[in-house]
Amino acid sequence: MKALTKEGDRKIEDIAARYSLSKDSVLSLLEAVVNGNATMAQFNVPELGGSGQWMKGGMTMVGDMFNRSLKITVDQLCTELANLVSTEILFDVSNTGSEKNRAGTDKPWPAVFGKPTTSGSQNNFRYAYFGPVRRLVIESNGNRAIYDTKHHEISGVSQQQGSQQSFELTSQDGPIDLSSLPLISEPGTLTQSTPELQYDVISSPGLKETESANSEDAIFATIEKLSVLFEKGHITEDEFKTKKAELMARL
């Protein structure tokens, strides 16, 4: 976790004193809240009953499951920390750029999908759901995978407790397992160069003689084919955007 500013350090000390906790315990919970994008947290803090989970406006779980007082304390503390990191600058941003570059956390989501409908992060993964194109991008330990969400409308993704590879999604139909969605590609492992495929509308086979190669239908159909090539990892996003721009210029 990045270093706190002097003001941020003072606020954390104040919170620790008010909740009668050690500063290290509050810092551990703060890191979990930050990793959960201030909407959720998975933590292991001995002073707070060991392992537990918190979701903003939702369920709070602690190791001592029958300790209602502890649940209330954890919920109040996580909520306060979430509000704090969402509204105030707690961390020293002087080295933010280099830290993000090393961690890879500033890598943008694929622009070809548009703006994420919802996104978040937790522990060592982050996600972005793109409703209009029914795509879910999961980034875990720097590696990305793209999933087809089918009819599901994803409102959240959480890592199942005790697992590094299993994820649970929240949808309009309730919780679903990530493994139930079709895996489209893993562009993070892309190594091949652009394939020698005829995806230019001028030379694409299959066009009817009466159909103009530069017609709107032909151009948009080719752009859709390019999108498929990108999703399957055959071309990079830069290659997709360059070719798309060339095609759109013909309209």
The rounded distance, in Å, linking the Cα atoms of 9 and 6 is: 5
Q: Which one-letter amino acid corresponds to residue 251? A: L
Boundary-marking domain end, from 52, 87, 122: 87
Q: Which of 58-62, 104-108, 141-145 has the lowest mean pLDDT?
A: 104-108
56-60, 125-129, 138-142, 207-211: which has the highest mean pLDDT? 125-129
Question: In this predicted structure, what is the pLDDT of residue 210?
Answer: 40
Task: Please indicate, yes or no, whether residues 199 and 145 belong to a single structural domain of this protein.
Answer: no
Q: Is the pLDDT of residue 179 over 90?
A: no
Task: Please indicate, yes or no, whether residues 162 and 209 belong to a single structural domain of this protein.
Answer: no
Residue 164 near residue 149, CB atoms below 8 Å: no
Q: Is the pLDDT of residue 66 over 80?
A: yes
- Residues 80-110 have pLDDT tens digits of 998 887 666 676 655 444 334 334 444 777 7
Query: Total domain count for the chain?
Result: 3
Task: Please indicate, yes or no, whether residues 61 and 120 belong to a single structural domain of this protein.
Answer: no
66: exposed, middle or buried (Cβ count in 10 Å: 0-12, 13-18, 19+): exposed
Task: Please indicate, yes or no, whether residues 194 and 162 belong to a single structural domain of this protein.
Answer: no
Boundary-marking domain end, from 138, 162, 189: 189
Boundary-marking domain end, from 87, 118, 140: 87
Long-range contacts, 158-167 (Cβ 8 Å, 24+): 158/40, 158/55, 158/122, 159/42, 159/122, 159/123, 159/125, 161/42, 161/51, 161/53, 164/124, 165/140, 167/125, 167/138
Q: Residue 98 falls within a domain, yes or no? A: no
The rounded distance, in Å, linking the Cα atoms of 145 and 7 is: 39
Instruction: pLDDT band for 186, please (50, 70, 90 cuts).
Output: low
Q: Is the pLDDT of residue 145 over 60?
A: yes
**Strands in 104-211 per DSSP E:** 118-122, 125-130, 135-140, 143-148, 156-159, 167-171, 174-177, 183-185
Q: Residue 100 falls within a domain, yes or no? A: no
Q: Residue 129 falls within a domain, yes or no? A: yes
143: containing domain: 107-189
Task: Please indicate, yes or no, whether residues 38 and 24 belong to a single structural domain of this protein.
Answer: yes
